[in-house]
């Protein structure tokens, strides 16, 4: 307000596009005022106008990001993306950080926009700006970027979800990978509401989104074993996807990004940590109506796990046997799930020679 509001108006030519009638727009304008004030203070009023043009472009883009006119929102999101590309090519560290902060705020405000073009552009801007948030003293900006990606990953349009996945990949490359994976898999204890975004993305209705997400997971696993137990199940799910293109991407990730030997070693090391949650999920969803698809996908995951680990599965044979027979004998289980459970038992017997004797004993006792 006062001089600060005047400075914000100078830096944001389109702020009048927002009339403040909605509470979300009011909050956005107030945030923009703070951004513009910080930017002016950092750049200084006496600096050359041309040098500040990229930074001011970000502010102008943000100023109308919450406008009701769809065309204005699209143009502003594009401006934010172009500004971050320009900032990335310069050596102005302070400008990069400020621009990235503002883009994070813009992304959080726009990630749920009904217009897919707005979300795609703002996610691309975030993809280029997230690198400048690393090492920032204020973690709030990193959280804003994370929250924006989470919202974008649930957008109704597949192009917007794919752009959010690419931005997620950029965040995983430079950010705290362990914390980000915990958040996006619903395992972050600090969050009051946990959502498994990874589970939703690997089962996305768009094959291109699933393929893009699989590539992101491969780069995540290539150089960080800490997240293996949480990320591997989704790569394994992609390996048995219904669509050939997704399976080809998953096979390429295993062979060329992670490495086949390393992949098999990681699966063997984390087999128990992946199998037990899968068996619990199967018990919770088998034969429960609209959850049937989740049960079917979980059965496929278990069968793929058995195929990848072979002899290491012996100690889990009784657990797998009981779970499969619970699915087969449940009166509400669909026929395709029963067939998948039988295939899993066959895979178990083929993968581990010693398992055949254990299965025979279990069958005899039942």
pLDDT tens track, the chain, 366 positions: 334 444 444 444 333 444 444 455 555 555 555 555 555 555 444 444 444 555 555 555 555 555 666 776 777 677 667 767 666 655 444 555 666 776 777 777 777 777 888 888 888 888 877 777 765 555 677 788 888 899 999 999 999 999 999 999 998 888 888 888 999 998 887 776 778 899 899 989 999 999 999 999 998 888 778 888 889 999 999 998 989 999 999 999 999 888 888 888 888 888 888 888 888 888 877 656 555 677 788 888 888 888 887 667 777 888 888 888 888 888 778 888 888 889 988 888 887 766 666 666 666 666
pLDDT value at residue 204: 93
DSSP code, position 12 = -
Q: How many Å apart are CA 269 and CA 254, to the nearest integer? A: 16
pLDDT value at residue 153: 92
Q: Report the predicted TM-score, pTM, of the whole model to 2 decimal places.
A: 0.73
- Work out the widest C-alpha separation in the chain, in whole angstroms: 88
- 296 near 340, Cβ under 8 Å? yes
| 91 burial level (CB within 10 Å; 0-12, 13-18, 19+) | exposed
DSSP letters, 28-97, are: HHHHHHHHHHHHHHHH-TTS-TGGGHHHHHHHHHHHTTT-S-HHHHHHHHHHHHHHHHHHHTS--HHHHH
Q: How many Å apart are CA 49 and CA 301, to the nearest integer? A: 58
pLDDT value at residue 2: 38
CA dihedral (277, 279, 284, 286) positive or negative: positive
């Amino acid at each position: 307000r006062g001089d600060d509001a005047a400075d914000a108006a100078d830096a944001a030519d389109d702020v009048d596009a927002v009339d403040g009638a909605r509470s979300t727009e009011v909050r956005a304008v107030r945030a923009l005022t703070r951004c513009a004030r910080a930017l002016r203070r950092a750049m200084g009023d006496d600096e050359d106008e041309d040098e500040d043009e990229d930074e001011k472009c970000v502010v102008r883009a943000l100023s109308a990001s919450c406008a009701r006119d769809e065309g204005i929102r699209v143009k502003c999101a594009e401006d934010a993306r172009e500004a971050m590309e320009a900032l990335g090519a310069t050596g102005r560290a302070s400008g990069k950080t400020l621009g990235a902060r503002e883009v994070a705020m813009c992304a959080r405000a726009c990630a749920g926009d009904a217009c897919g073009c707005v979300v795609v552009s703002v996610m691309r801007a975030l993809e280029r700006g997230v690198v400048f948030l690393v090492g920032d003293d204020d973690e709030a900006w990193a959280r804003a970027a994370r929250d924006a990606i989470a919202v974008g990953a649930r957008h109704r349009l597949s192009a917007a979800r794919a752009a959010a996945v690419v931005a997620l990949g950029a965040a995983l490359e430079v950010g705290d990978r362990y914390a980000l994976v915990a958040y996006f898999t619903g395992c972050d204890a600090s969050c009051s509401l946990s959502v498994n975004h990874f589970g939703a993305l690997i089962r996305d209705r768009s094959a291109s989104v699933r393929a893009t997400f699989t590539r992101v997971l491969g780069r995540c696993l290539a150089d960080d074993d800490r997240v293996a137990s949480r990320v591997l199940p989704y790569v394994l799910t992609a390996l048995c996807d219904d669509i050939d293109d997704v399976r080809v991407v998953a096979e390429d990730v295993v062979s060329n990004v992670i490495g086949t030997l390393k992949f098999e070693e990681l699966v063997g090391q984390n087999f128990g940590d992946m199998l037990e949650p899968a068996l619990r999920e199967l018990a919770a969803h088998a034969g429960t109506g609209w959850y049937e698809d989740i049960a079917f996908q979980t059965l496929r995951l278990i069968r793929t796990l058995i195929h990848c680990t072979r002899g290491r599965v012996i100690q889990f044979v009784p657990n797998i046997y009981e779970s499969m027979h619970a699915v087969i004998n449940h009166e509400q289980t669909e026929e395709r799930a029963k067939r998948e459970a039988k295939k899993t038992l066959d895979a178990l017997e083929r993968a581990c020679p010693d398992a055949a004797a254990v299965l025979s004993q279990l069958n005899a006792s039942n």
